[in-house]
């Protein structure tokens, strides 16, 4: 049980921002929110993670609601190479990641 809910698929126009939502309404206080993506059949790629505050790095931004029940991954300027399955995962300070089905993002020209 992944314990997160994501839309099955989304489309985004190239150059536009891609906003991928995730619901994690039962997240506990010490659990982080992680985002990974898997391009075709490659190994998953770490994108970003956060606990309470919004986070930004060179790949994306992560917006976490104040009650921590949901979050949004933002790819500010999506390119064709961002087409992938995006996974939102909740996890503690150690141990395994539980992958759900993720969101299949298709970036279109």
> Which member of 9, 25, 26, 45 binds another protein (CB under 8 A)?
45
Residue 95, by phi and psi: left (phi above 0), alpha (psi -120 to 50) or beta? left
> Which member of 44, 63, 72, 74 binds another protein (CB under 8 A)?
44
> Which member of 3, 61, 100, 104 binds another protein (CB under 8 A)?
100
- Both tokens of residue 86? 């995006």
Does residue 7 touch another protein according to CB under 8 A?
no
> Backbone phi, then psi, for 48, in 5-degree steps?
-170, 160
Instruction: Compare residues 83 and 87 and give the one whose CB is closer to another protein.
Output: 87
- Residues 62 and 80: their CA atoms lie apart, in Å, by 21
Instruction: Compare residues 42 and 53 and give the one whose CB is closer to another protein.
Output: 42
- Residues 79 and 72: their CA atoms lie apart, in Å, by 18
As measured in angstroms, the least distance from the Cβ of 75 to another protein is 18
For the segment 10-29, give every residue that binds another protein (CB under 8 A). Answer: none
Neighbours of 80 (CB within 10 A): 10
Neighbours of 50 (CB within 10 A): 18
| Binding residues vs another protein (CB under 8 A) | 32, 34, 36, 38, 41-46, 49, 51, 87, 91-102
């Amino acid at each position: 049980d992944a314990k997160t809910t994501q839309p099955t698929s989304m489309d985004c126009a190239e150059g536009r921002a891609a906003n991928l939502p995730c619901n994690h309404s039962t997240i506990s206080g010490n659990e982080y929110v992680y985002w990974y993506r898997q391009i075709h059949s490659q190994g998953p790629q770490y994108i970003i993670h956060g606990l309470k505050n919004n986070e930004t790095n060179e790949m994306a931004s992560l917006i976490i609601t104040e009650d921590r029940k949901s979050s949004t991954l933002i790819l500010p300027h999506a390119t064709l190479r961002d087409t992938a399955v995006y996974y939102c995962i909740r996890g503690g300070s150690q141990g395994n990641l539980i992958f759900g089905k993720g969101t299949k993002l298709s970036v279109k020209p």
